[in-house]
Amino acid sequence: MLYTDRLQLRVIKEEDLKKIHELHSIPEVDKYNALGIPTNIQVTEFVVDEWLESIRLRREYVYAIEKDSSFIGLIAIRIGNSKYKIATVWYKINPEFWGKGYATEALMGILNFGFEELNLHRIEAGCAVNNLGSIRVLEKVGMIREGNKRKVLPLKSGWSDNYEYAILDEDWYKTKD
């Protein structure tokens, strides 16, 4: 369990399936999501089962974001090759909670976990170039835009370019001073 000022981040469990399915079924959440809206709950169950296996193997930590014990989204950190001490983060927030700083707060909690607990050197994230909300979140937490991958995201609206962001441990610790 991770805690921020207003949020609790807890590792997902099988009982979260319905809430995760509902989150993935919201059109606004799907707009910049390459996963797509699941056709049924069994599709979501397959994804959740993969996440649970990755959690068990400590390759990825997928957290339910909760505010006052209510599920408001998901956030995860996927561990890369241990030699490089690198990971990738992603998040999805219910639109009812957009614009309130929850994504930024949850991401700060995950970055803290990655650098302080997992001793990572580098944490990366990507987002569609038109996803202005995510761009603001990534930049608020100190991530640096390093590049642009062309037409890499298969979105419902067509192929999208993707901005690549990263933060290094040295960047993180400078902000903590």
Q: Are 102 and 65 in contact (CB under 8 A)?
A: yes
pTM of structure: 0.94
**Cα–Cα distance, 22 to 58 (Å, whole number):** 26
Q: What is the pLDDT of residue 145?
A: 97
Residue with tokens 């995201």: 153
Phi, psi of 34, rounded to the nearest 5 degrees: -70, -15
Residue ranges covered by each domain of the chain: 2-124
Phi, psi of 48, rounded to the nearest 5 degrees: -60, -40
Q: What is the pLDDT of residue 177?
A: 62
Q: Which residues contact residue 89 at a Cβ distance below 8 angstroms, ignoring those fewer than 6 apart?
A: 75, 76, 77, 78, 107, 110, 111, 114, 123, 124, 125
Query: What would the CATH number be for the domain defined by 2-124?
Result: 3.40.630.30
Mean pLDDT by 10 residues, the chain (177 residues): 95 96 91 83 93 94 96 97 95 96 97 96 96 96 96 90 97 82
